[in-house]
A and B are shown apart, each in its own frame.
Chain A
Amino acid sequence: MAADYLDRLRREGRIVIVGASLAGLRAAETLRDEGFAGSLTLIGDEPYEPYDRPPLSKAVLLGKADPRHTELPRRREIDAKWRLGVPATALDMTAKRVRLADGDEVEYDRLLIATGVRARPWPKEPEAQLDGVFVLRTRDDAVGLHRRMKAGPRRVFVIGAGFTGSEIASACRDQGIPVTVAERAGAPLAGALGGVIGAVAADMHRENGVDLRTGVMVTALEGDTVGRVRAVHLSDGSVVEADVVVVSLGATRNTEWLTGSGLGAGPRGIACDAGCRAFDFRGIVTDDIFVAGDVARSPHALFGYQFLSLEHWGNAIAQAETAAHNMISPSSDRRPHLWVPAFWSSQFGVNIKSVGVPPMGEELMITQGSLAERRFVGVYGYQGRIIAAVSFDNTRWLEFYERMIETGAPFPVEFPTVDRRPEGRTPVSADFPDPSLPTHGPTVTLSGYSPADRQLVFTPARH
């Protein structure tokens, strides 16, 4: 019987977590918190115990933290078997086994996949391998980049002005290092927050002495005779000399190891239901494989039940906790993962935060403060309701707007507020770039047909 099985699972089952980072660790803690007494194995491709990534592009590059010391604090003992430094290479769903790169196989009764994403590398491999070319995602990346920045480079070149790219540029300027940033869109952060807010970000770059180039692409990285990068070629014909290049072109999901497994996994991540149970490639939900964190994509009620995947710190924790709970709970006790998206960034001394899904917004209203003061709240509207909000140095308002997003409050924002200026009384276009022209890569991906759109009518065949 199902109840007996669950009892035995909780007492002596085998749970395997692939991915030993934020989501994997918090899931393991939740499993133990909720009374799972069986064996727990955590598999990680990096040789390090779970560490925190946000400081790698902020405190570390500002010299306030050591890149080797961002290990996550433990909320409790988890009594796990660790398999670190060994990537998982294959999944056998029938035999319930995960194969590892060293040839070992690990059997499971329940599996949690939290393999996350990795930095998208510079596409031309010989150029990507030049000495001085970096991406910034892992602890090793951060150690290497940090060392170069401390050595006083002549110029750092950042490809892509998304959040990570902008944070790197900010850290360079903070330390007096000359930096050039190239972005394909018309402004930094335009893919995540739209062109109106992007223009504010562009001002921040330029006022802080960043050589910002927008509307251009990098065409080639040039090396010297001993294989060190020395210059960057741009699509407008210009050439910029730089001895450090950081490629900040977004991320790719770590799902290749699942190829051929029969799981519904691909370049957009692993599809799962609202309870974090993975779908197989036929769209049938599994009952023993769960997904959490950046690699997962799940339907969200607030966004028309479209599949939402989020590269957000808070989502990794919330989804891991829900997945872990559901893994060892009867179906009547399972919970949906309906976290409201939220993220932060810190650059040029400004605290940028957002709730909801800004790229889904069509229009924007500045409901507190003003763009010129760089201290404001912007609210995004979609089909007559509030879908997201962003704040620059105004974080205390965000919780208020989070409630409004959750309740589907109407847009344009009508209520009288404090600190509303004339410029914020009417909505303007949020000015997102054409989605068919990718920028540095959004950190939020919405995919799938939204029932709210009503563009399709399904007429079942009659027999």
Chain B
Amino acid sequence: MRLVVDLNKCQGYAQCAFLAPDVFAMHGEESLVYNPRAEEEQRERLARAVAACPVQAITADGLDGVGAAPSQPAGESSDGS
């Protein structure tokens, strides 16, 4: 699954790093680094991170930003390559 974080919006709350530690990590106090191509088995954790981000800075394929249902079924990905 592809994802992107709007780091202008990101304020380093680190909710994503708690909920999906294999995708997101803090580098220092506030800086976020992430893997823009998350493994498929991370889908549910990623969905939780997307939903939990206080500033809604995460966009992921098949997980629609605001209020994405954490238990969204897999297989919706438009990731072709």
Contacts and interface: CB of A to CB of B under 8 A. Distances in A.
Contacts, number: 88
- Secondary structure of the A contact surface, majority rule: loop
B36 A55 contact: yes
A349 B34 contact: no
Interface in B8-33: 8, 10-12, 25, 27-33
Contacts of A394: 30
Interface residues of B, number: 27
Contacts of B12: 351, 395-396
A77 B78 CA distance: 9
A54 interface: yes
A59 interface: yes
Contacts of B78: 74, 77
Contacts of A77: 78
A314 B6 contact: yes
A65 B37 contact: yes
Contacts of B8: 313-314, 342-344, 353
A73 B29 contact: no
Contacts of A313: 6-8
A46 interface: no
A394 B29 CA distance: 9
B2 interface: yes
A301 interface: no
Contact of A71 (B2, B7, B29): B2
A210 to B, nearest CB: 16
B40 interface: no
Contact of A393 (B29, B37, B59): B29
A72 interface: yes
B42 interface: no
A351 B36 contact: no
B7 A54 contact: yes
B43 to A, nearest CB: 13
Nearest to B1: A73
A234 interface: no
B30 to A, nearest CB: 4
Interface string A43-64: 0000001001011001100101
Interface of A: 49, 52, 54-55, 58-59, 62, 64-66, 69-75, 77, 313-314, 342-344, 346, 348-351, 353, 375, 393-396
21 contacts: A54-B7, A58-B33, A70-B37, A71-B81, A73-B3, A73-B60, A74-B2, A313-B7, A314-B8, A343-B8, A344-B10, A346-B27, A346-B28, A348-B28, A349-B27, A349-B29, A350-B31, A351-B30, A393-B29, A394-B30, A395-B10
Given A343-B8, A349-B28, A351-B31, 11 more contacts: A55-B34, A64-B35, A65-B33, A72-B4, A73-B4, A73-B59, A344-B7, A346-B27, A346-B28, A351-B28, A353-B8
